[in-house]
């Protein structure tokens, strides 16, 4: 079975991990954490970076920076992972959803302004599958209405908008280091910002808001500390950022060439007027009426793993049980969920596996 993702860990990961073990620095207080933070901040043109346990943890902290009150509203895409809504809902605030563009699969920024009310506090942007949201439009709207921007760049390592790194916009930006990301630490995440106070508050929140004296806590936080061992892997991965990024683009282009002209598929956009696709994953949308689940079952029988696209936020049972999004429809997001899937496209995916996966998809379409 060709896995949907295979990370590459054959650089200095073992050497740096052994250094952690030999020195005894395996907790979050080890020196690799600061090295990883500094290296990552520089890569995305931010002043500060705070390493945490996951991309979700980074989002929780970033959204906490908005100081939301019950009834406040945060505009976000309907087509995204549920992590984006967790802390908004926990604060008693209201996620206000926007449908996505049919070609880039990113939030349709032309719909944002109509969603703004007197309770709107922020726009949460999520760059999807290797292409960016139109940040110029988002920034224009945010400035016009005095809104904050939180930028989820979990799927956008190395992605640039007119030369500017994703992760460099807004009050704070977040990243994930799950194994299917360009840079992985197994589990892990990063919050980046240019605001010194946000950096200070984020460090408190990830560390249970420890104060002085040590076990007296004036606020509630989380234990979201990244370990020195995770950060050691991250440092080794950062040394190969450019190599991995070029491999991702090469994978996407090989699939694009292999599947070009297949009328039953919508392929990813290779580039837009603001960005080149970095192909975090290689997604396709079925246009022959076959549902994603049926195709994924066929591919599995052919020895190829695949994954569904995101289930839209408004269809999530956990949120519907809370009485949210009743009768709301987001047709493009629903279409992508029903007919979209992505193929093996991790950094370690070989050319032979790409060709085999593409050929299997063609064969399944012909069945």
pLDDT tens per residue, range 282-303: 999 999 999 999 999 999 999 9
75 close to 98: Cβ distance less than 8 angstroms: yes
Does the residue 85 lie in any domain? yes
Q: Which of 208, 238, 268 is the last residue of a domain?
A: 238
Does the residue 8 lie in any domain? no
The reported pLDDT for the residue numbered 216 is 92
* Overall domain count for the chain: 2
Confidence of residue 249 (pLDDT cuts 50, 70, 90): very high
Q: From residue 251, how far is each of 278, 280, 282, 345, 355 by CA, in Å? A: 9, 10, 8, 7, 10
The reported pLDDT for the residue numbered 6 is 96
Q: Mark whether 299 and 205 lie in a shared domain.
A: no
Separation of alpha carbons 74 and 85, rounded Å? 9
Q: Mark whether 69 and 188 lie in a shared domain.
A: yes
Q: From residue 152, how far is each of 24, 59, 125, 156, 287 by CA, in Å? A: 34, 7, 6, 8, 29
Q: From residue 94, how far is each of 85, 86, 144, 340, 355 by CA, in Å? A: 9, 11, 21, 28, 45
Question: Could you report the per-residue pLDDT of 317-362, keeping only the tens digit for each?
Answer: 999 999 999 999 999 999 999 999 999 999 999 999 999 999 999 9
Q: Which two tokens stand for residue 164?
A: 């500017």
Q: Mark whether 94 and 177 lie in a shared domain.
A: yes
Q: Mark whether 212 and 316 lie in a shared domain.
A: no
Q: Mark whether 254 and 282 lie in a shared domain.
A: yes
208 close to 224: Cβ distance less than 8 angstroms: no
Domain harbouring 71, CATH code: 3.40.640.10
Q: How many CB atoms lie within 10 A of CB 252?
A: 24
Q: Which two tokens stand for residue 46?
A: 């931010």
Does the residue 5 lie in any domain? no
Q: Mark whether 219 and 321 lie in a shared domain.
A: no
Q: Mark whether 207 and 266 lie in a shared domain.
A: no
Q: Which of 238, 268, 286 is the last residue of a domain?
A: 238
The reported pLDDT for the residue numbered 367 is 85
Q: Which of 222, 238, 254 is the last residue of a domain?
A: 238
Say yes or no to pLDDT of 212 above 90: no
Provide CB contacts within 8 A for 143, sequence distance 6+.
none
Does the residue 281 lie in any domain? yes
Does the residue 6 lie in any domain? no
Question: Could you report the per-residue pLDDT of 154-176, keeping only the tens digit for each?
Answer: 999 999 999 999 999 999 999 99
User: What is the domain extent for residue 288?
Assistant: 241-366
The reported pLDDT for the residue numbered 244 is 98
Computed over every residue of the chain, the mean pLDDT equals: 97
Q: Mark whether 36 and 74 lie in a shared domain.
A: yes
Does the residue 32 lie in any domain? yes
Question: Could you report the per-residue pLDDT of 263-276, keeping only the tens digit for each?
Answer: 999 999 999 999 99
Q: How many CB atoms lie within 10 A of CB 164?
A: 15
Q: Mark whether 48 and 147 lie in a shared domain.
A: yes
Record the pTM. Answer: 0.97
Question: Could you report the per-residue pLDDT of 78-101, keeping only the tens digit for each?
Answer: 999 999 999 999 999 999 999 999
Does the residue 171 lie in any domain? yes
């Amino acid at each position: 079975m060709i896995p949907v993702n295979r990370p590459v860990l054959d650089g200095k990961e073992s050497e740096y991990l052994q250094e952690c073990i030999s020195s005894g620095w395996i907790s979050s207080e080890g020196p690799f954490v600061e090295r990883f933070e500094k290296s990552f901040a520089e890569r995305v043109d931010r002043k500060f970076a705070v390493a945490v346990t996951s991309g979700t943890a980074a989002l929780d902290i970033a959204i906490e920076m908005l100081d939301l009150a019950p009834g406040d509203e945060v505009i976000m895409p309907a087509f995204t992972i549920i992590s984006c809504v967790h802390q908004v809902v926990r604060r008693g605030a209201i996620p206000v959803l926007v449908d996505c563009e049919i070609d880039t699969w990113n939030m349709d920024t032309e719909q944002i302004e109509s969603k703004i009310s007197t309770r709107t506090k922020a726009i949460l942007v999520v760059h999807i599958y290797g292409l960016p949201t139109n940040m110029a439009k988002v920034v224009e709207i945010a400035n016009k209405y005095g809104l904050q921007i939180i930028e989820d760049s979990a799927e956008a390592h190395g992605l640039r908008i007119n030369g500017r790194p994703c992760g460099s916009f807004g009050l704070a930006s977040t990243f994930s280091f799950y194994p299917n990301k360009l840079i992985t630490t197994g589990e892990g995440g990063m919050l980046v910002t240019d605001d010194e106070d946000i950096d200070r508050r984020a460090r408190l929140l990830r560390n249970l808001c420890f104060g002085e004296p040590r076990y007296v806590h004036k606020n509630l936080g989380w234990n979201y500390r990244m370990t020195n061992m995770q950060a050691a892997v991250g440092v080794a991965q950062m040394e190969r950022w450019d190599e991995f990024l070029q491999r991702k683009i090469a994978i996407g282009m090989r699939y694009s060439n292999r599947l070009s002209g297949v009328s039953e598929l919508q392929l990813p956009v290779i580039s837009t007027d603001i960005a080149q696709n970095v192909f975090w994953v290689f997604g396709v949308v079925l246009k022959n009426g076959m549902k994603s689940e049926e195709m994924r079952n066929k591919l599995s029988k052919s020895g190829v793993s695949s994954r569904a696209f995101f289930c839209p936020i408004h269809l999530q049972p956990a949120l519907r049980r809370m009485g949210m999004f009743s009768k709301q429809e987001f047709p493009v997001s629903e279409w992508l969920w029903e007919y979209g899937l992505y193929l093996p496209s991790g950094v370690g995916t070989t050319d032979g596996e790409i060709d085999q996966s593409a050929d299997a998809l063609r064969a399944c379409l012909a069945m």
